[in-house]
Structure 1
Amino acid sequence: MGVLSDYFRAPDAASVVRALEQADGGSPLFAEPPAFDGVEAKRVDPTVVLAQLVAAIRQVEWRVDLVEETTVWPTSPAPGPDGPVDEDDPWMTGPWVSELHLPARDTLAGVRDLDIPAAVARWVRAEELQGARSEDMQPLAEELVLLARRARSADERLYCWMSL
């Protein structure tokens, strides 16, 4: 079982929550019609794999806080560390949606087209992408860059929807 992830742009967290409520938490990219402009990106979580791409673009080492995010779904309070574990709790079952902080969007949006191949070559060396090839990952990187550019141009945020 892998993690499904979709990235999309939206004006604010409130519009994301409304769309998720209408779709019963399903990906807003698969609503009819799609609720937001976005990109399917299986197994590309924001904290590690997307952050590896951001690190590659910035030419810095990856670190856990490189792509900061704020959870917008589920909307219920997260259980405490000693709280009871309920198998039906949305925090356990997902889906989860987070708003990426602006530096990640702006890094993706700001990379020059001619620098994308070199960034992807660095990105695929990440342990989490073991076996991935640049030629297979470059189209996804380009889609994420274009999505970030559209978000920045529209003064919107990037969001990540994830599910098991």
Structure 2
Amino acid sequence: MGALTDYFRAVDAASVVEVLKRADGGSPLAGALPAFDGVETKHVDPTVVLAMLIAAIRQVEWRTDLVEEVTVWPTSPVPGPDGPGAEDDPWVTGPWVSELSPLARDTLAAVRDFEVATIVAKWVQAEELHGARAEDMQPVAEELVLLARRAREAGEQLYCWMCL
């Protein structure tokens, strides 16, 4: 089982939460008329795989804090020290949505078109992308870069919707 990850841009977390409430937590990119401009991906979680792309762009080692994120969904309180509640607890079942830091957005947006192939060649060497081919991942990276540019130009933030 893998994670579905959709990246999208929005003005703020409140608008994201409103859309998610109407969609019962479903992807804001689903359907014939997506609620937001975004990119559908698989297995590109923000903390590890996207952060590895950011590391390749910045030419630094991967760290857990390369992509800072703030959870905006679920909106219920975070489980206490005894852990999550019942199996239907949204913190257990998802989906989860996080707002990515402006630094992550701006790092992606700053990539020049001619740099993408070189960056992707380094990105696919990550253990977590074992078996991924550069020619398959390059369109994903290109779409993320273009999405980040549109978000930055519009003064919007990047968000990641994820479910298992």
TM-score range, shorter chain: over 0.9
Q: Distance in 2 between matches of 1:98 and 1:31?
A: 21
- Structure 2 match to 1:73: 73
- Structure 2 match to 1:115: 115
- Residue 6 of structure 1 aligns with an amino acid whose one-letter code is D
Q: Distance in 2 between matches of 1:85 and 1:12?
A: 29
CA drift of 1:81 comes to 2.6
- Structure 1 match to 2:3: 3
Task: Please tell me the root mean square deviation across aligned C-alpha atoms, in Å.
Answer: 0.9
- Residue 96 of structure 1 aligns with an amino acid whose one-letter code is W
The alignment's TM-score, normalised by the length of structure 2, stands at 0.98
Contact preservation (8 Å) 2:7, 2:160: yes
- Residue 157 of structure 1 aligns with an amino acid whose one-letter code is Q
- Paired positions, count: 164
Q: Distance in 2 between matches of 1:61 and 1:40?
A: 26
Q: Distance in 2 between matches of 1:162 and 1:39?
A: 12
Secondary structure of residue in 2 paired with 1:40:
strand
Q: Distance in 2 between matches of 1:32 and 1:87?
A: 31
Q: Distance in 2 between matches of 1:30 and 1:19?
A: 11
- Structure 1 match to 2:91: 91
Secondary structure of residue in 2 paired with 1:29:
coil
Taking the TM superposition and a 5 Å limit, the aligned residue runs for 1:34-49 are: 34-49=34-49
Percentage of pairs with the same residue: 76
Secondary structure of residue in 2 paired with 1:6:
strand
Q: Distance in 2 between matches of 1:80 and 1:148?
A: 35
Contact preservation (8 Å) 1:69, 1:98: yes
* Structure 1 spans left out of the alignment, 5+ residues: none
Contact preservation (8 Å) 1:23, 1:31: no
Residue 88 to residue 124, structure 1, CA distance change in 2 (3 Å): same
* Structure 2 spans left out of the alignment, 5+ residues: none
**Stretch of structure 1 that moved more, 76-85 or 120-129:** 76-85
Matched, 1:160 2:160: yes
Residue 88 to residue 113, structure 1, CA distance change in 2 (3 Å): same
CA drift of 1:85 comes to 2.9
- Structure 2 match to 1:50: 50
Residue 4 to residue 84, structure 1, CA distance change in 2 (3 Å): closer
- Residue 131 of structure 1 aligns with an amino acid whose one-letter code is G
CA drift of 1:33 comes to 1.7
CA drift of 1:84 comes to 5.5
Q: Which runs of 4+ in 1 moved over 3 A?
A: none
Contact preservation (8 Å) 2:20, 2:26: yes
Q: Distance in 1 between matches of 2:84 and 2:130?
A: 36
Q: Distance in 2 between matches of 1:128 and 1:3?
A: 13
- Residue 118 of structure 1 aligns with an amino acid whose one-letter code is T
